[in-house]
Amino acid sequence: MTQFQIFCDAHLGEDIFKLIREGISPHRLILPQSKGGSVLSVGPTDAGLFEAEIALGQPDAASVLQAERLRWLQVTSAGFTRYDTPEFRAAAKARGLIVTNSSSVYAEACAEHVFSFMLAQSRQLPLALKTRCASGSAPWNELRNASSCLQGQEAVILGYGTIAARLVEMLAPFRLKITALRRHPRGDEGVLTVTEENLAGALSTADHVVSILPDNAASVRFISPERLAQMKPGAVFYNIGRGTTVDQNALAESLHFGHLAAAWLDVTDPEPLPDGHPLLSAPNCFITPHTAGGHTNESETLARHFLRNFQRFVGNEPLRDRIM
Amino acid sequence: MTQFQIFCDAHLGEDIFKLIREGISPHRLILPQSKGGSVLSVGPTDAGLFEAEIALGQPDAASVLQAERLRWLQVTSAGFTRYDTPEFRAAAKARGLIVTNSSSVYAEACAEHVFSFMLAQSRQLPLALKTRCASGSAPWNELRNASSCLQGQEAVILGYGTIAARLVEMLAPFRLKITALRRHPRGDEGVLTVTEENLAGALSTADHVVSILPDNAASVRFISPERLAQMKPGAVFYNIGRGTTVDQNALAESLHFGHLAAAWLDVTDPEPLPDGHPLLSAPNCFITPHTAGGHTNESETLARHFLRNFQRFVGNEPLRDRIM
CA-CA-CA-CA torsion sign (A147, A148, A150, A156): negative
Task: Measure B296 CA to nearest chain A CA, in Å.
Answer: 4
The helix or strand, by DSSP H or E, that contains position B244, with its residue range, turns out to be none
Each residue's pLDDT tens digit, A165-209: 999 999 999 999 999 999 999 988 899 999 999 999 999 999 999
Residue B37 — pLDDT band, cuts 50, 70, 90?
low
Asked if B122 contacts B286 with a C-beta cutoff of 8 angstroms, the reply is no
Q: Which residues of A touch B146 (CB under 8 A)?
A: 296
**Rounded Cα gap, residues B285 and B261, in angstroms:** 9
pLDDT at A66: 94
CB contact under 8 A, A123 and B116: yes
pLDDT at B288: 98
CA atoms within 13 A of residue B182's CA, in its CB half-sphere: 18
Each residue's pLDDT tens digit, A255-279: 999 999 999 999 999 999 999 999 9
Closest residue, chain A, to B136 (C-alpha) = A38
Asked if A9 contacts A36 with a C-beta cutoff of 8 angstroms, the reply is yes
Closest residue, chain A, to B105 (C-alpha) = A149
Each residue's pLDDT tens digit, A202-242: 999 999 999 999 998 899 999 999 999 999 999 999 999 99
Of B37, B170, B286, the CB nearest to A173: B170
Higher pLDDT: B163 or A40? It is B163
Mutate to test the interface with B, among A121, A135, A240 (most CBs of B within 10 A): A135
Each residue's pLDDT tens digit, A7-44: 999 989 999 999 999 999 999 999 998 765 666 666 66
Task: Measure A26 CA to nearest chain B CA, in Å.
Answer: 31
**Rounded Cα gap, residues B145 and A204, in angstroms:** 38
Percentage of chain A with pLDDT > 90? 87
CB contact under 8 A, B294 and A113: no
pLDDT at A91: 96
CB contact under 8 A, B112 and A133: no
What ipTM is given for this predicted complex?
0.87
Q: Residue type for A287, please?
A: I
Task: Measure A187 CA to nearest chain B CA, in Å.
Answer: 22
Q: Which of A113, A109, A112, A119 is nearest to A262 (CA)?
A: A119
**Rounded Cα gap, residues B79 and B172, in angstroms:** 26
- H runs (alpha helix) in B103-161: 103-122, 125-128, 138-146
Task: Measure B221 CA to nearest chain A CA, in Å.
Answer: 22
Of A38, A116, A173, the CB nearest to B136: A38
Asked if B250 contacts B225 with a C-beta cutoff of 8 angstroms, the reply is yes
Q: Which of A53, A101, A108, A49 is nearest to A76 (CA)?
A: A101
Of A123, A140, A170, the CB nearest to B173: A170
Burial of A237 (0-12, 13-18, 19+ CB in 10 A): buried
CB contact under 8 A, B172 and A173: yes
CB contact under 8 A, B125 and A288: yes
Each residue's pLDDT tens digit, B166-217: 999 999 999 999 999 999 999 888 899 999 999 999 999 999 999 999 998 8
Task: Measure A96 CA to nearest chain B CA, in Å.
Answer: 32
Of B126, B134, B294, the CB nearest to A147: B294
Of A120, A172, A174, the CB nearest to B120: A120
- DSSP letter at A24 equals H
pLDDT at A38: 66
Q: In this structure, what are the phi and psi dihedrals at residue A244, rounded to the nearest 5 degrees?
A: -65, -15
Q: Which conformational region is residue A273 in: left (phi greater than 0), alpha (psi within -120 to 50 degrees), or beta?
A: beta
pLDDT at B102 over 60: yes
Q: Which residues of B touch A140 (CB under 8 A)?
A: 38, 289-291
**Rounded Cα gap, residues B115 and B95, in angstroms:** 40
Q: Which residues of A touch B143 (CB under 8 A)?
A: 289, 291, 294
In three-state form (DSSP H/G/I as H, E/B as E, the rest C), the secondary structure along B28-64 is EEECCCCCCECCCCCCCCCHHHHHCCEEEECCCHHHH
Task: Measure A239 CA to nearest chain B CA, in Å.
Answer: 14
Percentage of chain A with pLDDT > 70? 97
Q: Residue type for B221, please?
A: R
Contacts of A87 (CB under 8 A, 6+ apart): none
CB contact under 8 A, B174 and A170: yes
Task: Measure A186 CA to nearest chain B CA, in Å.
Answer: 23
Q: 3-state class of B223 per DSSP?
A: strand
- H runs (alpha helix) in A96-224: 103-122, 125-128, 138-146, 162-171, 199-203
Asked if A245 contacts A222 with a C-beta cutoff of 8 angstroms, the reply is yes
CB contact under 8 A, A174 and B172: no
Q: Which residues of A touch B109 (CB under 8 A)?
A: 123, 147, 149
pLDDT at A53 over 60: yes
Burial B159-178 (b: 16+ CB within 10 A, else e): bbbbbbbbbbebbbbbebeb
pLDDT at B36 over 90: no
Q: Which residues of B touch A169 (CB under 8 A)?
A: 173
Each residue's pLDDT tens digit, B277-287: 999 999 999 99
CB contact under 8 A, A116 and B126: no
pLDDT at B43: 62
Q: 3-state class of B213 per DSSP?
A: coil
Closest residue, chain B, to A38 (C-alpha) = B136
Q: Which residues of A touch B144 (CB under 8 A)?
A: 291, 293-295, 298
pLDDT at B38 over 70: no
Task: Measure A156 CA to nearest chain B CA, in Å.
Answer: 20
**Rounded Cα gap, residues A80 and A216, in angstroms:** 9
* Adjacency order of strands within the sheet including B192-194: B192-194, B177-181, B154-158, B208-211, B236-239, B262-265, B285-287
Q: Which conformational region is residue A265 in: left (phi greater than 0), alpha (psi within -120 to 50 degrees), or beta?
A: beta
Cα B167 to Cα B110, B149, B210: the distances in Å are 9, 17, 10
What is the residue-averaged pLDDT of chain B?
Answer: 94
CB contact under 8 A, B288 and A128: yes
pLDDT at B224: 98
pLDDT at A295: 94
CB contact under 8 A, A113 and B132: no
Q: 3-state class of B208 per DSSP?
A: strand
Q: Which residues of A touch B174 (CB under 8 A)?
A: 170
pLDDT at A65 over 90: yes
Asked if A284 contacts A255 with a C-beta cutoff of 8 angstroms, the reply is yes
* Adjacency order of strands within the sheet including A154-158: A192-194, A177-181, A154-158, A208-211, A236-239, A262-265, A285-287
Of B116, B140, B149, the CB nearest to A122: B116
Mutate to test the interface with A, among B12, B81, B132, B163 (most CBs of A within 10 A): B132
Which residues are paired to A156 by β-bridges?
A: A179, A209
Q: What is the mean pLDDT of residues B51-65?
A: 95
Which residues are paired to A177 by β-bridges?
A: A154
**Rounded Cα gap, residues B179 and B154, in angstroms:** 8
pLDDT at B9 over 70: yes
Each residue's pLDDT tens digit, A67-123: 999 999 999 998 898 999 999 999 999 999 999 999 889 999 999 999 999 999 999
pLDDT at B140 over 60: yes
Q: Which residues of A touch B122 (CB under 8 A)?
A: 112, 116
CB contact under 8 A, B289 and A40: no
Cis peptide before B270 (omega within 30 of 0): yes
**Rounded Cα gap, residues A299 and A15, in angstroms:** 10
Q: What is the mean pLDDT of residues B87-113?
A: 95
